[in-house]
Amino acid sequence: MGDLKTQKMKFLQSCTPVLDDGEYRIRVGQVVNLATTGKEIPEKTQLFSVKGPRYSLDPGSIDSMFPPSNTSGFYGNCLPHIILKRKTLPWERVVFKGKTAVRIEADVQAADVIPWLAVLTFDSKEAPVIEKKTANDILNPGANVVSGNLAPDTHVGESTTTPCLTIDVPSPLFNAIMPNLDELPYLSHVRSVDMDYKKSDGSTDGYYSLVIGNRLPLASGDGEKNVSLLVSLEGLGEHIPGGSQQITDKNTCIRMIVLAIWEYSAIADKFDFKKLLENLSPATTLKIESPPNAGAEMKAALDMGYTAMNHHLRDGEQTASWYRGPLVPLKVDVKKPEAKENADALYKYNPDNGLFDISYAAAWQIGRLLALKNKNFAIALFQWRRGNNQKAAFNNMMNILKVKLPNIVAHDEERINMIGGSLLHELTLNYMQNDLGQKMRPGAKDNTGLLGKYGDPAGLIKHGSKYPGLLSIEALEKIVASGSDIVEKIVQEAREDA
């Protein structure tokens, strides 16, 4: 975008092809002057043909058109044009029957190289019907129709059945809008652009040919449909205004091959871009201009971007409150973001005038509504927060334990991190049975510590049937080893102990 300042463009008058379309023959012969051989090297002939667009144009060879196809805009002042990727295209064929193309050597300017292409623009009332026809309809157009009488070139694969699109333009319209023969050279040129600044698909070398129309589209208030056509003038030279055989009979039509069609709608407007820009002045900030009779307080609020809004309070009362959106006319100091319990916490009350500032409360509320509308976000947020909270709760408990029971935690930190859940119980049991127990009853071999045979710091022992894991491993082993009625025995064991 900024690069455009340095982008360069060159214009050339024309670019004529090195070879005209048609069939060619290369003959290669060699004469050997050596007395001893007496042999001749045989001649070799190679046929080739040069074929350019004639009855139709591959859309891929069109770079762009203006006005852009199927758009509407203020096109009433523009001369429609088409940009072709083939730099020689407008000069490949000849408008006069039976003549060959004028070749221009490098650096020689010549005004009389007449391009065979023209851009014609029609509004919807005069637009001729575009018909599907064949090369034969160009060769033999029939009564009351004049054409270029082009004979298909069978050497390059053309035949009388080669399809083409055509228009028949009544002679009065044709004479009125067709550029003069000596005007046509002004309407085609070659443009070269610096490819460094363009996206490139390799289909051009930076040279384009352009054909410009000589007629403004018809514009109206609601937009007027116009069509521009790229037409072939091959063979029609004498009938073009300025030629020797102009068609004066009003009932005769001129048939032309259509190579490209683009439609658009032209809106009439007395403004152009520059004027519209000028109309934007003065460019100001986003706020309401305070009326001349506004009080100082009102003016200050409006200048800061506030708007007075009707505000229905929760108790049904109606008041006016100040509101300001996220787009403000001046720079504001940014505070650290905070989490609020509800939007009401963000109401700002001005005791001097009894008015609320509801800006941030409104922001909070709309943020909440937007989030509620987006299910994926809502679920992801909920799960993430819950996960974090669970983890935090665990960490909190750990921190409490670290302070309250430093010995326990220090002893078994690794294990704690593994088991997580039934932490307190596990820890206490372990501590009572081992560390503390050993200190109180040094030498006790059963490792039951302070709590007797079966430690029960959480008072779960009465519910032994629900928590069979509370029994010591040895007790369990004994029961299992006894064989039958295992559950019964566990319960019994637990009760016995209580």
Partner 1 sequence: MNTWVSRKEQLMMKPDSGNSADQPIPDIITKWIARIHLLYGVPFEYLVPDSRMLPMESIRFFHVDENWMNNLIDGALSIGRVTQNDLQHDERVIDSLKRVSGKKAQNIRRQLLKKSDTNEGPTGVKTGFILRSLIVEGWPGLEVNAYKSKQESSLCTILRMERLAKDVMLCIFDGEFEELELREPAEAMHFGVDFDDGKFLKKLRSLGVKSPLGTQWDVSVNIPFRDADNRTLNVNKLVDAIKSKLKDAGEYGGNFYSPEFAVEMIESAQKGVFDNVSK
Near partner 1 in 340-379, by CB under 8 A: 340-343, 346, 359-374, 376-378
Under rule CB under 8 A, residue 320 binds partner 1 = no
In whole angstroms, how close is the CB of 110 to partner 1 at the nearest point?
8
Q: What single string gives the DSSP state of each residue in 439-475?
A: HHSTT-SS--GGG-SS--TTS-GGGTTT-GGGS-HHH
Per CB under 8 A, which region of 137-145, 231-239, 273-281, 440-448 contacts partner 1? 273-281
303-333 in b/e form (b: 16+ CB < 10 A) is bebbeeeebeeeeeeeeebbbbeeeebeeee
Query: Closest approach of Cβ 142 to partner 1, in Å?
Result: 28
Question: With binding defined as CB under 8 A, does residue 212 bind partner 1?
Answer: yes
**For partner 1, the closer CB: 249 or 272:** 272
480 binds partner 1 (CB under 8 A): no
Q: How far apart are CA 469 and CA 476, in angstroms?
A: 9
With both helix axes pointing from N to C terminus, report the angle between 423-431 and 375-404 in degrees, rounded to the nearest 10.
20
Pick the closer one to partner 1 by CB: 381 or 498.
Answer: 381
184-205: b (≥16 Cβ within 10 Å) or e:
bbebbbbbbeeeeeeeeeeebe
Site for partner 1 in 134-193 (CB under 8 A): 176-177, 179-180, 182-183, 185-189, 191
Alpha-carbon dihedral sign for residues 284, 289, 290, 291 = positive
Taking CB under 8 A as the criterion, the residue among 54, 86, 133, 287 binding partner 1 is 287
Q: At what angle do helices 375-404 and 359-373 cross, to 10 degrees?
A: 110
Tell the residue number behind the tokens 């009932």, with chain if given: 251
Cα-atom radius of gyration of the chain, to the nearest Å? Answer: 46
Would you say 276 or 444 has its CB closer to partner 1?
A: 276
Q: Which CB sits closer to partner 1, 185 or 455?
A: 185
x/- track of binding to partner 1 for residues 233-272 (CB under 8 A)? ----------------------------------x-xxxx
Tokens 């708007």 belong to 307
Q: How far is CA 239 from CA 55, 171, 195, 246, 248, in A?
A: 20, 10, 40, 4, 10
Compute, in degrees rounded to 10, the torsion defined by CA atoms 433, 434, 435, 440.
60
Nearest to partner 1 of 59, 337 (CB atom): 337
Stretch that binds partner 1, among 36-44, 164-172, 323-331, 414-422 (CB under 8 A): 323-331
Question: For partner 1, what does the binding mask look like between residues 13 and 32, x meaning CB under 8 A?
Answer: xx------------------
CB of residue 404 vs partner 1: minimum separation in angstroms?
7
Name the residue with tokens 């003069």: 180
Q: How far is the CB of 367 from partner 1 (least distance, A)?
A: 3
Q: At what angle do helices 375-404 and 406-419 cross, to 10 degrees?
A: 150
Per CB under 8 A, does 319 bind partner 1? no
Give the binding-site size for partner 1 (rule: CB under 8 A): 120
Instruction: Determine, following the binding rule CB under 8 A, whether residue 106 of this chain makes contact with partner 1.
Output: no
Measured from the Cβ of residue 80, the count of other Cβ atoms closer than 10 Å reads: 26
Is residue 314 a contact residue for partner 1 (CB under 8 A)?
no
Q: Toward partner 1, which CB reaches closer, 30 or 244? A: 244
Q: Which of 32, 106, 129, 283 binds partner 1 (CB under 8 A)?
A: 283
97 near partner 1, judged by CB under 8 A: no
Name which of 428, 430, 419, 421 is nearest 401 in CA terms: 428
Q: Residue 421, interface with partner 1 (CB under 8 A)?
A: no
CA 251 from chain centre, in angstroms, equals 51
CB of residue 334 vs partner 1: minimum separation in angstroms?
4
Residue from the set 41, 313, 320, 332 that interacts with partner 1 by CB under 8 A = 332
Options 38, 60, 337, 421; binder of partner 1; rule CB under 8 A:
337
Which x/- pattern over 51-90 shows residues binding partner 1 (rule: CB under 8 A)? Answer: -------------x-xx---x-xx-xxxx-x---------
* Residue 477: its H or E element: helix 473-482
207 counts as binding partner 1 under rule CB under 8 A: no
